[in-house]
């Protein structure tokens, strides 16, 4: 894949793209990333890339001519890989999701355009057919960090970027659920013990525990994700158990006696939260 980024702050990207998976993917030839200085495309001698908004109001607006010249210039470069997907980063854009990230990862070429100031002249999107994307419902001082987020999320999905592709399958969101919690040594830190099941060597029990934890975290923190989650039969079985427990505190898992274990009491509480649409960490 080739990714071009058009920005007035080219220097912001250096260190980020020289670290971690993105850097390794570049070295391995999985992705080529080119940063272009928008000012080079400004038609006037002062290299102006912004101007005051028509209709008045605070701040500045990024001008249409340099942006369209830069996008068209970049899109025609080498012509390899067909027409790129042009993406403008803006808080007005469609919300980025893992589904959208994998859609972007399927293109041969991306051109990312981080917006600045109050925004960009609307005609840039109209003229270039760019897609507007937001990385969240908050306003950054510019789209550069959002562009870095897109690059990072896309590149790690490219074949060859990550040595163990199985890790994608277990990522948060890969099945539309949050990931389960993770632990490593020591087994006991200040009395906080790693859950016994993870030390048991029982792979079936570990798999089921992880699935239950993923479901519980999703129900408690992001119940909105449940509607689109990809659940298998085991997930549905676990979910049914959790729902049953939340329905009546007197119900116990079959074969159990006495008080329900802590994990089930917590699940019950979290499911109540879900029903009441209360957010809890």
| Residues making contact with ligand ADE (CB under 6 A) | 89-91, 115, 134-136, 138-140, 142-143, 146
Q: Whole-number minimum distance, CB 150 to ligand ADE, in Å?
A: 9
Q: Which candidate in 63, 156, 175, 216 is catalytic?
A: 156
Bridge-partner residues for 113, per DSSP?
88
For tokens 């676990």, the residue is 238
Catalytic residue check, 118: yes
Beta strand pairing call for 32-37 and 50-51: unpaired
- CA–CA separation, 129 vs 88, rounded Å? 10
Nearest to residue 118, comparing CAs of 42, 43, 47, 55? 55
Q: Give the Cβ contact number of residue 87 at 10 Å.
A: 28
Among residues 171, 179, 241, 273, the one annotated as catalytic is 171
For ligand ADE, the closer of residues 86 and 198 by Cβ is 86
Residue nearest ligand ADE, CB atom distance: 146
Beta strands in 15-126 (DSSP E): 32-37, 50-51, 61-62, 85-95, 109-114
Of the pair 8, 89, the CB lying nearest ligand ADE is at 89
Find the helix or strand (DSSP H, E) in which 199 lies: helix 196-199
- Least distance to ligand ADE, CB of residue 92, Å: 9
The CB-of-247 to ligand ADE minimum distance in angstroms stands at 39
Q: Which uninterrupted H or E stretch holds 131?
A: strand 131-134
Residue placing its CB nearer to ligand ADE in the complex, 119 or 176:
119
Residue with tokens 């870095």: 148
- Catalytic one among 37, 65, 98, 118? 118
HSE-up of 41 (CA within 13 Å, CB side)?
A: 21
Residue 144 vs 270, nearer CB to ligand ADE: 144
User: What is the C-alpha to C-alpha distance for residues 50 and 38, in angstroms, rounded to an integer?
Assistant: 11
| Distance in Å, CB of 142 to ligand ADE, minimum | 6
Give the Cα separation of 95 and 102 in Å (integer).
Answer: 14
CB of 171 to ligand ADE, least distance (A): 21
The nearer residue to ligand ADE, 25 or 150, going by C-beta atoms, is 150
List the catalytic residues. Answer: 91, 118, 156, 171
């Amino acid at each position: 894949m080739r990714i071009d980024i058009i920005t007035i702050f080219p220097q912001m990207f250096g260190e980020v793209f020289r670290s971690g998976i993105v850097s390794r993917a570049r070295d391995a030839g999985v992705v080529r990333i080119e940063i272009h200085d928008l000012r080079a495309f400004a038609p006037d001698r002062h290299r102006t890339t912004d101007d005051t908004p028509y209709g008045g109001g605070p701040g500045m607006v990024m001008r249409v001519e340099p942006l369209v010249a830069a996008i068209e210039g970049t899109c025609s470069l080498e012509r390899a890989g067909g027409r790129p997907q042009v993406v403008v980063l803006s808080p007005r854009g469609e919300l980025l999701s893992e589904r959208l990230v994998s859609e972007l990862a399927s293109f041969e070429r991306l051109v990312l355009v981080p917006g600045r100031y109050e925004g960009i002249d609307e005609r840039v999107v109209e003229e270039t057919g760019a897609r507007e994307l937001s990385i969240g419902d908050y306003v950054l001082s510019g789209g550069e960090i959002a562009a870095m987020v897109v690059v990072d999320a896309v590149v790690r999905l490219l074949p060859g970027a990550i040595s163990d592709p199985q890790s994608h399958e277990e990522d948060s969101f890969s099945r539309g659920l949050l990931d389960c919690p993770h632990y490593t040594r020591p087994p006991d830190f200040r009395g906080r013990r790693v859950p016994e099941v993870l030390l048991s060597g029982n792979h079936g029990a570990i798999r089921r525990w992880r699935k239950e934890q993923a479901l519980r975290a999703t129900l408690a923190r992001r119940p909105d994700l449940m509607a689109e989650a990809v659940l298998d039969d085991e997930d549905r079985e676990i979910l049914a158990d959790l729902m049953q427990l939340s329905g009546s505190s007197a119900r116990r898992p079959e074969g159990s006696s006495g008080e329900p274990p802590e994990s089930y009491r917590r699940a019950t509480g979290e499911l109540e939260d879900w029903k009441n649409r209360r957010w809890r960490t």
